[in-house]
Amino acid sequence: MQEHDAPQERPTATLLLVDDEPHVLSALKRALRREHYRLLTAADGEQALALLDTESVDLVVSDSLMPGMDGAELLGHIQRRWPDCLRMLLTGRADLKATVRAINEGHIYHFIAKPWDDDELRLTIRQALAHQQAKREQQRLEALTQAQNRELVELNANLEARVAARTQELQQVADMLDAAYGDLKHSYVTATQVFSSLLNQRLPRHLQTNAQVGDLIKAFAETHGLEEELQRELMMAAALYNLGKLTWDDHLLSTPAQRLFAREQTAYRHYPETGEGLLMTLEPLQGAARLIRHHRERWNGSGYPDHLQGEAIPYGARLLALAVDFIELQRGMILPRKVPRQDALDLLRKFSGRVYDPALCKSFVALCIEQAPDLGLAGKKVLSLPPRKLEPDMTLAQDLHSPSGMLLLNQGKALTRQLIDKLIRLEELEDTQLSLLVHPPEAANAEPHLAQSERNP
């Protein structure tokens, strides 16, 4: 079925929306009606494939759970037959097996969780199409480079000036390709962060540690000038290090590590290997998977799963271990109590040389004292406010999650009156109290500050 709107401008892209629920398709079309897209709709996988046989489609948004052919199977068909068509999965729950299958078979670009925010949906689709355009431009430039290389072979060797000019042009093309390739690799980091947000719906709010671990890793990597490739692997590992825990039951998830019985300890010790196994099929994540496997090794060789010792433990895994333990100690996930932030730093120092790389531990503790990246200050004034006290033009200093753990707004989002009103209504509907960390409009050059309610994490 094809929908014909009457846009004022030429459609910028063709989208196919697939869902067996008519009201969901209507809601998607309403959200996208002003985006100057050509919108096609299908009620199931068979209709979608039939449309794709006759229409040129840039992006497909498919529901995960549909009768007959589900979203993962449909996106797998599309990936094999139309690999240049972007694929997004619309899902109403965090189903680990379906998610992993969708990644492996459909090579999806993004997840969209139900219910979605219209602004974020539009932004996600714009970014996806921009990514697609960058990839097409990369392919065009690669073809251009090959054609120019063939032309160089035919040039007269004596025309030195012409060769010099062409060489300069090729360098410019190569620089553009490098930039495009860098954008593609950055998109993998973004995808793991979105995946992490989806997986957090399986975990209680106080066990959702990935964001703080990622903040610590990012600050350390930037401060110490780590190589770009290692930084990417570390950020992906920080987003997914606890992926293997999602195979546990709720009792094991909520019990501090030191209170586990022998049989439970055995299950606990396998989570790094489980996480690695789930990611190894994805080539861009293999470096991050290796860090996840070894982040429970110990400097003295008493860790697991491979009992590596000293510098045999990958550097990134040693750093990830420090960040994970520092946050999980404060959340009550290791000891039978929540450890205050300063006491957690003292414990890291105490076990330096036994559990942790002593030199790395010293640098990490210094970073936590001097910059406190886990508190989300970012060198600016930070206020902790309920929605009714928010003002337009404030910006979020930290990701905002719903009580169930779903990502609502990203860090850096500028607040508008419409967004503030939505947050107030959300509090009323969910019968809950939200607290947002925000930068006031004048905070750009202000000294670091933290509201009293946030001083004791």
Task: Tell me the three-class secondary structure of 44-106, residue by residue.
Answer: CHHHHHHHHHHCCCCEEEEECCCCCCCHHHHHHHHHHHCCCCEEEEEECCCCHHHHHHHHHHH
The C-alpha atoms of residue 132 and residue 138 are separated, in whole angstroms, by 10
Say if residues 317 and 220 touch (Cβ distance below 8 Å).
no
Q: Is the dihedral of CA 352, 222, 332, 311 positive or negative?
A: negative
Q: How would you label 274-286 residue by residue, b for 16+ Cβ within 10 Å and e otherwise?
A: bbbebbeebebbe
Query: Considering only CA atoms, which of 176, 135, 184 is closest in space to residue 283?
Result: 184
445: Cβ contacts below 8 Å, ≥ 6 apart: none
The C-alpha atoms of residue 275 and residue 294 are separated, in whole angstroms, by 11
**For the chain, which ranges sit under pLDDT 70?**
1-9, 93-106, 153-166, 170, 173-200, 202, 376-384, 398, 403-405, 442-457
The C-alpha atoms of residue 359 and residue 350 are separated, in whole angstroms, by 13
Bridge partners of residue 60, in order along the sequence: 16, 87
SS3 of 135-167: the string is: HHHHHHHHHHHHHHHHHHHHCCCCCHHHHHHHH
The C-alpha atoms of residue 248 and residue 252 are separated, in whole angstroms, by 6
Q: What is the pLDDT of residue 297?
A: 96
Say if residues 326 and 303 touch (Cβ distance below 8 Å).
no
The C-alpha atoms of residue 248 and residue 267 are separated, in whole angstroms, by 8
Give burial (CB, 10 Å; 0-12/13-18/19+) of 234: buried
Q: What is the pLDDT of residue 112?
A: 84
The C-alpha atoms of residue 205 and residue 365 are separated, in whole angstroms, by 26
Helix (H) or strand (E) holding 237: helix 228-240
The C-alpha atoms of residue 78 and residue 432 are separated, in whole angstroms, by 42
Cα angle: 131, vertex 195, 25; to 5 degrees: 70
Using alpha carbons, list the distances in angstroms from residue 281 to 273, 277, 289: 14, 8, 10
The C-alpha atoms of residue 18 and residue 62 are separated, in whole angstroms, by 5
Phi, psi of 42 (to 5 degrees): -145, 145
Percent of the chain with pLDDT over 90: 38
Say if residues 18 and 45 touch (Cβ distance below 8 Å).
yes
Say if residues 134 and 180 touch (Cβ distance below 8 Å).
yes
Say if residues 348 and 326 touch (Cβ distance below 8 Å).
yes
Instruction: Report the Cα 239 to chain-centroid distance in Å.
Output: 7
